[in-house]
Chain A
Amino acid sequence: MPKRLLLGPQRPIRNLGEAIEHSGFPTGQMAVISAGWQEAEGDIDDVRELVQRPLVDLQLYSRAESMFSTDSSLRQAYRERQDQLKELQSLYQMRLRQLTLAARQTLRAKGSKEMIAAELRHAVSQLRSLDRHHLNRVQTINNEFDERYTFQQYEPLAEQHAAIAKQLDDCESVIITGGNVVILLNRLRMFGTHLQVQNKHLIAWSAGCMALSDRVVLFHDRLPQGRRDPELLGPGTCLLPNYIFLPDARHRLHTTDKIRTGLFSHRFAPAECVTLDSGAQLLFDDGELQRSELARRMTVDGNLERIHPG
């Protein structure tokens, strides 16, 4: 597996350029996927300044917008799929709320440690079962869409796929920015770009990191209305599986709440739940962690601990 360089948010600490420089990436042009920025896609002057090399943005967001404006059947099918996913997500949320509450209360329960531990194991297994079910349901809906509109079969998507492939021919490395992780994942899948970049070196931050894993978890403890339980959005691209990446955790999560942090870790095990705050970086080479700075792993007892290579 080629290199994977994962970074925290590029504000306030912009370590993109420095991290690339110290990671031995090939020189030459890099491709950029900034679809998560939606309308601001392609606004990459800041990125160019940091990486000091020629960049080409693959324009996944605007390619899709352009197709939607001319291809009503694709637009309609896409909207229907999104509506289905939205409905499914709200049903999942409803069930999740109850199970999470039960698990959290069990964690706080006082009494026989053995009895509590047994009940907790069951409470967490119910959560994990719901997550698995949800993941399968999302995958089924995605597959139904893909049966009709996949880049392998649907000519307009195949044309875009080919055009992207041509741009990628000149790039050994691809940068995936942060932004809206739902949009980013949708666009990567729509054009099959996640498959096109799997043998490239990848540099990603924030939402870009989340999209690389096999499961994407949404989280935020500081919404205007307060905390919201972490939700499984669905499958990621599997370009770096077995991790749940948590960008900007310092601002988004109450990481000092050991009950919540411990439950987070339990629920998504054996995947490692890894925080990526601004300034953090993780370098994987051939699937092995080579370097870790400021990234933290959630432990089952609710602590955050440094990650060491090897």
Chain B
Amino acid sequence: MNKALAHLLKLSPPATADIDAFIERSVFPLVDGEKITFVYRGSADAVFLRCWISGLDTAQPLQLLDDTDLWAVTIELPEGSRIEYKLEVERDGHRELILDPLNDILAHDPFGANSVCQGAGYRRPQWSLYDPDARPGRLETRRIASKSFGDTREFQVYLPARFRRNRRYPLLIVHDGIDYLHFADLKIVLDNLIHRLEIPQMIVALVQSPDRLVEYSGDDRHATFIGAELLPSMNELYPLQDDPGARGLMGASFGGVASLHAAWRYPELFGCLFLQSGSFAFSDLGRHKRGPVFDPVVEFVNEFRERPGCPADKIYMSCGIYESLIYENRSLIPRLQQQGIEVRFEEARDAHNWENWRDRQRNGLSWLFPGPVWMVYE
């Protein structure tokens, strides 16, 4: 048990004022090296830690501590880890998922928010925080009539702070781009990395699908939209470098599938891929067990593994080791390398979430699109 908590419980029974003081002076969850203690205070019939990470039980019960209204559970988490979680509180037969009332650190995603446990040694990267010295780029909203989808798609375009019409820029197309802005601070990261000269000034198209589980699952309509509609349109609208090495696709989860699929359908168009926690489910034999939404993904990934071709020259992949997709991601690496593709793979002590994807952006972007820091001596 955590030392501070054990010390409190020695005051048997601890007075309410003692518990109040303990809560007041502690930072939750309690991090003691690799041991993390989650604490809940209040009346309940049962309390569970829910953290949806591979390797741990989905729901771990907290124990009511003797003569108190405190509940606690301790888990082991390697240094540098970061996990997202909720508490599930059961009262009168009803269960409710709540954010940890004792922890102010939250991570947001399209479904709401989670509490964040930062294990020993985890630090949010400095380059992901707003830097007043970094000149901000700007976002423009654009629309494109898509024959492939039979509708009009809105997307945003990031232009670097010193954008000039008479220069040529690399292009990165980001799936779930608006989510990347909101939940992975992509604009701040781009501003900072450009300011630090770690990536070149670049143009970034941020696309968002109204039906990502279908369109990002290996859907040819989407590949056509990216390769035959959006890219030519971007070429007309902006001064872009005419070189596959200066064109990239990026995406996380199903967005990773969509990126790989589009590059595979349009080989030689995109030289760089940044695939984060790609949902690269496949089946060697029999049916997969990930549910019907993965059927088209598995169909594509199986076909890709059979005939990968050369979708890009450089691929940066990242995946959390606490997500079940780590197996699929690891499996893909040798297949890509066999094709002569230069692949870098980063494993993180994190799970399938936007802050994991945020924290990997510097390594991925600066490797795929190295900036001029090498040539600048201020």
Contacts and interface: CB of A to CB of B under 8 A. Distances in A.
B376 A180 contact: yes
A39 B375 contact: no
B378 A223 contact: no
A228 B374 CA distance: 9
Contact of B375 (A68, A182, A248): A182
Interface stretch (B149-157, B257-265, B266-274, B365-373): B365-373
Nearest to A182: B375
Contact of B362 (A39, A182, A183, A224): A224
A206 B162 contact: no
Interface string A49-70: 0000000000000000100110
Interface string A223-234: 111001000010
Contact of A181 (B363, B366, B376): B376
Contacts of A11: 378
Given A39-B164, A65-B166, A224 B367 contact: yes
Contact of A206 (B166, B366, B367, B377): B377
B373 A220 contact: yes
A180 B366 contact: no
A207 interface: yes
B367 A181 contact: no
A247 interface: yes
A39 B162 contact: yes
Contacts of A10: 378
A30 to B, nearest CB: 20
Interface residues of B, number: 16
B198 interface: yes
A225 B378 contact: no
A178 interface: yes
Interface string B161-173: 0101010000000
A9 interface: yes
Nearest to B375: A182
B134 to A, nearest CB: 14
B377 A224 contact: no
A206 B164 contact: no
A247 B377 CA distance: 7
Nearest to B364: A224
B376 to A, nearest CB: 5
B377 A178 contact: yes
A181 B362 contact: no
Contacts of A273: none
A220 B362 contact: no
Contacts of B375: 180-183, 218, 233
A223 B350 CA distance: 24
Interface in B332-378: 362-363, 366-367, 370, 372-378
A270 B376 CA distance: 25
Contacts of B164: 39
A236 to B, nearest CB: 13
B377 A181 contact: yes
Contacts of A304: none
A270 to B, nearest CB: 23
Nearest to A248: B377
Interface of B: 162, 164, 166, 198, 362-363, 366-367, 370, 372-378
23 contacts: A9-B377, A9-B378, A11-B378, A39-B162, A39-B164, A65-B166, A69-B166, A178-B376, A178-B378, A179-B377, A180-B372, A180-B376, A182-B375, A183-B375, A206-B377, A207-B376, A207-B377, A207-B378, A224-B362, A224-B363, A224-B367, A225-B363, A225-B366
Interface of A: 9-11, 36, 39, 65, 68-69, 178-183, 206-207, 210, 218, 220, 223-225, 228, 233, 247-248
